[in-house]
Amino acid sequence: MLTLHCPYCGVNADETELDAGGEAHIKRHGPGSDDNQFHDYLFTRENPKGVHLERWRHAAGCGKWFHAARCTATLEVFGTYPAQVYEPPQDIKDAISAKRPGWSWREFE
Amino acid sequence: MSDPVSAPVSAMNHASYVGIARVEETGLQGMITLRGDLSSATLGKAIKAATGQGVPDVRRVAVDGDSGACWMSPDELLLLVPYAEVEAKLAALNETLKGEHALAVNVSDARAVFRVSNGPAREVMAKLAPVDLSPGAFEPGEIRRTRLAQVAGAIWMEEDGAFRVICFRSVADYVFKLLSVAAQPGSEVGVF
């Protein structure tokens, strides 16, 4: 079972307290963008075997959204970080690099 | 139902159960949900005036009798006030918070409050919530919003080792039965 550290209330929350929110760091392509960009924004998702960045919500707890970096193959969690960022903070990137050298996920590495 | 029109009744009307621990619904409790910037001095002043308590730290409660403040999330508190005074306290709160980006709502009749005491209360609660309730990991004065079997709830520990449980009124009957089953005689686990 997955246990994620909620960066807001500081508890190690059990998966049953959380809601999965899909892929993290999706850039919205709205007015002014072309059909392909809008299509990708709506439908195109990563499906990696390995490092993945996701959104989670501490639904039964403080109710806040946060981000998690984890491995889809081993369920290893590299770290969690607040939702108010456009990319994973450096310490999260470092934690992933320590375990998965040479990793990349979309434009991040 | 001698006076069906005017007398407010709590969700379980003081129902109680005694097994390895005592489970009781504590009756009517004034509750105000307050959202806003918890670091704001004006908010702190308003909370002090309403409950006599300061702004609690992350996952802490500051409760004395039926007055107090519970941390709910980074921008939300649950204020406890005597049931009879809730409207007056709310009006005073809104007066103090004028101009602040904050919202205070009376949720007294939307919640139910239980107390689990007299016995291995830690054990009874640990059967229901995915929370480390071992001594040292969860101590008096700490609050945890979590899941009680299938519904949302908030639990905190009082100085004497008893637990307070708050849930939605609509699931009060479910939570009372949950707590009663978790406290039934012979169900000691003896893990703590």
User: Which CATH number does the domain housing residue A84 bear?
Assistant: 3.30.2270.10
Name the CA radius of gyration of chain A, rounded.
14
A109 within domain boundaries: no
Q: How confident is the model at residue A10 (pLDDT cuts 50, 70, 90)?
A: very high
Residue A39 CB partners (closer than 8 Å, separation 6+): none
Distance from the B73 Cα atom to the nearest Cα atom in chain A, whole angstroms: 5
Euclidean distance between CA atoms B94 and B49, whole angstroms: 12
A104 within domain boundaries: no
pLDDT on residue B2: 58
Tokens representing residue B10 in the block: 């709590």
A68 within domain boundaries: yes
Number of domains in chain A: 1
Packing angle, helices B41-51 and B86-96, rounded to 10: 160
pLDDT on residue B86: 96
Cβ atoms A85, A4 nearer than 8 A: no
Cβ atoms B74, B37 nearer than 8 A: no
pLDDT on residue B162: 96
Handedness of CA A7, A10, A12, A13 (dihedral sign): negative
Tokens representing residue A20 in the block: 């999965």
Euclidean distance between CA atoms B4 and B112, whole angstroms: 20
Which residues of A lie closer than 8 Å to B, measured between beta carbons? 8-14, 16-17, 60-64
Tokens representing residue B114 in the block: 């239980």
pLDDT on residue B1: 52
Interface confidence (ipTM) of the complex: 0.87
| pLDDT tens digits for range A43-94 | 999 999 999 999 999 999 999 999 999 999 999 999 999 999 999 999 999 9
Domain architecture of chain B: domains with CATH: 16-182 (3.30.1360.120)
- Inter-chain Cβ pairs, chain A and chain B, closer than 8 A: 36
Residue B48 pairs in a beta bridge with none
CB contacts of B145 in chain A (<8 Å) are 9, 60-63
A62 within domain boundaries: yes
A80 within domain boundaries: yes
With a cut of 50, which residues of chain B have pLDDT below it?
none
pLDDT on residue B7: 86
CB contacts of A18 in chain B (<8 Å) are none
Contact criterion met (CB < 8 Å) for A61 and B146: yes
Give the one of B58, B74, B146 whose C-beta lies nearest to A17's C-beta: B146
Q: Strand, coil or helix: what is B18?
A: strand
Q: Give the nearest chain A residue to B130 (CA atoms).
A: A14
Contact criterion met (CB < 8 Å) for A9 and B130: no
Q: Strand, coil or helix: what is B17?
A: strand
A16 within domain boundaries: yes
Euclidean distance between CA atoms B68 and B129, whole angstroms: 24
Hey, of B146, B150, B151, B156, which one would you mutate to test binding to chain A, going by the most A CBs within 10 A of its CB?
B146
For residue B153, give the H/E element and its range.
Answer: strand B151-157
pLDDT on residue B6: 77
- Print the domain residue range for A67: 3-99
pLDDT on residue A103: 95
Euclidean distance between CA atoms B171 and A60, whole angstroms: 15
A106 within domain boundaries: no
A22-48 average pLDDT score: 94
